[in-house]
Amino acid sequence: MNRGENRARLALVGLIAGLLLAAPAADAKPGDVYVADRDAETIWKLPPTGGEATVLSNDPDLSRPYGMTLGPDGLLYVADSAGKVFSVDRTTGATAEVTDLTGFEATDVAFDAAGRLLVTEYDENDILVVSRTTGLHSVLYDGPGLF
């Protein structure tokens, strides 16, 4: 990884486990940092003690990954600009599509206190609740005027 060039274009939209999460994974280590590189369509893992980043996932189905969060099941959840949400195994980097919200530009993902997966949308500021098992979704907040 070319430090100067890539660090300048990496968008740190990741998380610091246990610090920015409403429902952190039980096995998350303080200091684990995940970074979405939208241009390279890659998820990087930064070691907590410093050093070089390693590729966690560069699945070609990830289209400009953006918002990320750790799920209560220990998986990393990633929203992309094509409206898809993926789960990523933090050990193997294997990805699985959770839902396809075509026409919905997913920007961020989070889990609420009840463990529900929430996805925000860029244009309309909607917030959806997505089932991690079926991929079905419903509108939690209808955005216009919300923000």
Assign residue 93 the CATH number of its domain: 2.130.10.10
Count the domains in the chain: 1
**Which pLDDT score, from 0 to 100, does residue 29 have?**
60
Question: Roughly how many angstroms between the first and final C-alpha of the chain, as a whole number?
Answer: 38
114, part of any domain:
yes
Q: Does a structural domain hold residue 146?
A: no
Residue among 83, 72, 63 nearest 113 (CA): 72
Report the pLDDT value the prediction gives residue 28, as an integer from 0 to 100: 52
pLDDT 10s per residue in the chain (147 long)? 443 333 322 333 333 332 222 233 444 566 677 888 888 888 888 777 778 888 999 988 888 888 888 888 989 999 888 888 999 999 899 999 999 888 888 888 998 888 889 988 877 778 888 888 887 887 787 876 544
Distance in angstroms (rounded) separating the CA atoms of residues 30 and 17:
5
Range of the domain at 84: 3-141
φ and ψ at 5, to 5 degrees? Answer: -65, -50
Q: Structure tokens of 110?
A: 């989070």
Query: Quick one: tokens of 77?
Result: 């959840």
pLDDT confidence of residue 8: 26
Q: Determine, yes or no, domain membership for 43.
A: yes
CA distance linking residue 147 with residue 133, whole number of Å: 30
The secondary element (H helix, E strand) that includes residue 8 is helix 3-9
* pLDDT of the residue at 89: 93
Residue 147 domain-assigned? Answer: no
The answer to whether the CB of 42 falls within 8 A of the CB of 54 is no
d(CA 128, CA 27): 27
